Amino acid sequence: MQGNEACAEGAIAAGANFFAGYPITPATEIAEILSRRMPEVGGIFVQLEDELACMAAVVGASLVGAKAMTATSGPGFTLIQENLGYAAMVEAPCVVVSVQRGGPSTGLPTLPSQADVMMARWGTHGDHPIIVLSPSSVREMFDLTVSCFNYAEKYRVPAILLTDALLAHLREDVILPDAEEVTRFDRKRPTVTPEEYQPYAPDENGVPPMACFGEGYRYYITGVVHDERGSPTLQDSTVASRLLKRLHDKIERNRADIIRYQTEMTDDAEILVVAYGCLARSARQAVIDARKEGLKVGLFRPITIWPFPDDEFLQAVGTAHTVIVPEMNIGQYAGEVARALCDGSKGSRVSRLTELGSIAIHPEAILQRIREVAKNGH
């Protein structure tokens, strides 16, 4: 199965019933497959004039109760950002799949990249909550698509599957779970009457129950700052602060549920390799080869890349004197690793291994950096 195919099947397994998309390399197969699969499960597929319109349609579909998604790549991901911020503000659960390719601008349309990591977190303006997952295999393209839908529904937040052209077009043998084995989470509905309902009044989890349009509830939805009833409050800084803090707190207070990661051979590691997405595959092989040479090296793979897994990373880094971060960008995530180390410094230093030509970093290149670090002590 191809990675993009696994993503599409993951959406169906999660209960997705609305897809709005626009063709763009290397994400187009997701739209092509769902144009066939959505009608088969009673869902809706629509192709619109551009990605800005696609994201607007996704938000609208979510507000009437659909499990909605779109899929795109670099230039389209840029256009999505405006309405992605709107989704965060009105707390419309939805899923965006971004298949990274070389950039900026048209860049290298058919080759992989990891240069949209910061755009996934901060691409839309203003402080906003977001959950971003990064798969490293075709099976994870399926599993994490399901997880994105579950997180979106549970926390009323946009969730992003941040993958790349390599995984999107990679083919691997995959055993998919039966439908009854897939965990689905649906948004919490209100238990009060329409007259009593406050659309943005949070429950004990910090997430407001969501009434969908067409179910007898009417309320105002706006992208400006609003109170618990949805009424705009443009001049009240207290309401603004309360709203924005809650939007972030509903993620922060549930980090234990949201953060996913993988560690290998970190207990005695003197060097830690931090890698995500497709490069986690190269990093894992390099760590295995380094261990064969007697070098004490471990791997930390963040699966949830946003929010950043600070505590989990600091536990994994242990007594390592150096952290190597291979990335197919100029060092975007390495900066976040360095920030985390400043918060809980154990004398570690960050060694950036970057690739800007949209070529996956080979295990041998990572192994060579490990050897250099081991020889020099940093």
User: Which residue, chain included where needed, has tokens 């998604």?
Assistant: 69
CA angle 167, 106, 145 (to 5 degrees): 30
367 is in which domain, residue-wise?
262-376
Angstrom distance (rounded) from CA 341 to CA 314: 7
| Helix or strand holding residue 272 (H, E) | strand 271-274
pLDDT score, position 235: 82
The count of domains in the chain is 2
> 242 in a domain, yes or no?
no
In this structure, are 164 and 63 located in the same domain? Answer: yes
- Of 181, 213, 237, the residue at which a domain comes to its end is 181
Beta-carbon count within 10 A of 358 CB: 23
In this structure, are 71 and 174 located in the same domain? Answer: yes
In this structure, are 163 and 307 located in the same domain? Answer: no
Rounded (10°) angle between helices 28-40 and 3-14: 30
Which CATH number is 63's domain given? 3.40.50.970
> 251 in a domain, yes or no?
no
Angstrom distance (rounded) from CA 124 to CA 88: 10
Which CATH number is 350's domain given? 3.40.50.920
> 190 in a domain, yes or no?
no
In this structure, are 174 and 268 located in the same domain? Answer: no
User: pLDDT means per 10 residues in the chain (378 residues)?
Assistant: 98 98 97 98 97 98 98 97 98 98 94 97 96 98 98 98 98 95 96 95 94 93 94 89 96 97 97 97 98 98 98 94 96 95 68 94 98 87
pLDDT score, position 319: 84
Query: Which residues are CB-neighbours of 147 under 8 A, at least 6 positions away?
Result: 133, 159, 260
In this structure, are 278 and 162 located in the same domain? Answer: no
In this structure, are 279 and 142 located in the same domain? Answer: no
> 322 in a domain, yes or no?
yes
pLDDT score, position 376: 87
In this structure, are 275 and 177 located in the same domain? Answer: no
Let me know: does 217 contact 209? Beta carbons within 8 Å: no
- Of 181, 198, 223, the residue at which a domain comes to its end is 181
Q: In what order do the strands lie in the sheet with 349-354?
A: 261-264, 297-302, 271-274, 322-327, 349-354
In this structure, are 50 and 167 located in the same domain? Answer: yes
pTM: 0.96
For 130-157, b/e burial (b = at least 16 CB within 10 A) is: bbbbbbbbbbbbbbbbbbbbbbbbbbbb
pLDDT score, position 346: 52
CA angle 195, 200, 206 (to 5 degrees): 125
- Of 181, 207, 224, the residue at which a domain comes to its end is 181
pLDDT score, position 53: 98
Angstrom distance (rounded) from CA 49 to CA 70: 13
In this structure, are 175 and 307 located in the same domain? Answer: no
- Coil, helix or strand for 68? strand
Angstrom distance (rounded) from CA 364 to CA 32: 36
In this structure, are 287 and 171 located in the same domain? Answer: no
User: Which residue, chain included where needed, has tokens 């570690």?
Assistant: 348
Let me know: does 313 contact 340? Beta carbons within 8 Å: yes
In this structure, are 162 and 64 located in the same domain? Answer: yes
